């Protein structure tokens, strides 16, 4: 083997690290670049694009359920999209982030990009995606506009409940169960009271109570994600 004479002022280790940095460097995808521009934080953007409930498989599954909802709505006249989407969003948000979902939660808590910011960004992104998909599906299914927009408020409350339960119990599954149960009780109670599910998803008089409930759940999330034993 030929020997290579290395000049004494050349640090081969440093050269190799430079080469490795170039070769190993990961190119951020389009979504991550967009998120970096919007959030002005590469760390937050990276945390956002690896959200479990924003991964391609999860989004495809959501779309499949909503397509089935469109078909059912057209076939039966019942606003299935409006009934399904809040439950889907609640499940997505429960699986977005938190002590029970992130295996490296303890480590994440010691990071400069705070775990609360990651939680907020992820929850808003999951909510926005599900709201957008739900609105499109609701429009395609030919549901009345009042119904289409009427379920966004209860969806907010259900998502907040799922997030609060997931962070307090440190378990995404508990969050999903709480969200689903809360939504099922709401829908069934409305049906018993009014005889139709349409009334349940467009209750004008319940807007404020729903928002107040969501705010209380938000406060619980803040409590559950505080630094134990001290104020943030």
Binding mask 26-65 for another protein (x = CB under 8 A): x--------------xxx--xx--x---------------
Q: How many CB atoms lie under 10 A from the CB of residue 187? A: 18
Q: How many residues form the binding site for another protein (CB under 8 A)? A: 36
Nearest alpha-carbon partner for 158 in 131, 133, 140: 131
Residue choice 10, 22, 40, 76 for contact with another protein (CB under 8 A) = 22
From 1, 4, 25, 192, residue interacting with another protein (rule: CB under 8 A): 25
Q: Contact region for another protein (CB under 8 A) — 56-64, 102-110, 194-202, 210-218?
A: 102-110
Q: CB of 46: closest distance to another protein in angstroms?
A: 5
Burial-class residue 66 by CB neighbours within 10 Å (0-12, 13-18, 19+).
buried
**Binding region for another protein (CB under 8 A) out of 107-115, 119-127, 130-138, 160-168:** 107-115
Among 6, 11, 15, 16, binds another protein (CB under 8 A): 16
- Residue 18 makes contact with another protein by CB under 8 A: yes
Interface pick for another protein out of 56, 103, 192, 204 (rule CB under 8 A): 103
Choices 69-77, 103-111, 123-131, 215-223; region in contact with another protein by CB under 8 A: 103-111
Burial tier of 25 (Cβ tally within 10 Å: 0-12, 13-18, 19+): exposed
Binding site for another protein (CB under 8 A): 13, 16-18, 20-22, 24-26, 41-43, 46-47, 50, 102-114, 118, 227-232
């Amino acid at each position: 083997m030929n020997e290579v004479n290395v000049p004494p002022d050349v640090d081969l280790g440093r050269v190799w690290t430079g080469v490795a940095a170039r070769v190993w460097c990961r190119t951020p995808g389009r979504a991550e670049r967009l998120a970096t521009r919007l959030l002005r934080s590469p760390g937050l953007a990276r945390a956002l694009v690896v959200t479990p409930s924003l991964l391609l498989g999860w989004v495809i599954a959501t779309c499949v359920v909503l397509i089935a909802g469109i078909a059912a709505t057209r076939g039966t006249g019942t606003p299935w999209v409006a009934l399904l989407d809040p439950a889907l969003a609640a499940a997505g948000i429960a699986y977005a982030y938190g002590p029970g979902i992130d295996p490296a939660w303890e480590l994440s808590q010691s990071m400069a990009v705070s775990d609360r910011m990651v939680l907020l960004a992820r929850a808003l992104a999951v909510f926005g995606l599900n709201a957008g998909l739900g609105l499109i599906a609701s429009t395609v299914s030919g549901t009345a506009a009042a119904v289409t927009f009427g379920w966004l408020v209860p969806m907010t409350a259900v998502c907040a409940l799922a997030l609060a339960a997931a962070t307090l119990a440190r378990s995404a599954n508990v969050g999903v169960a709480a969200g689903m149960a809360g939504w099922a009780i709401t829908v069934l109670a409305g049906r018993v009271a009014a005889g139709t599910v349409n009334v349940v998803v467009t209750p004008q008089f319940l807007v404020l109570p729903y928002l107040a409930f969501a705010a209380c759940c938000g406060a619980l999330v803040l409590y559950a994600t505080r630094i134990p034993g001290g104020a943030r």
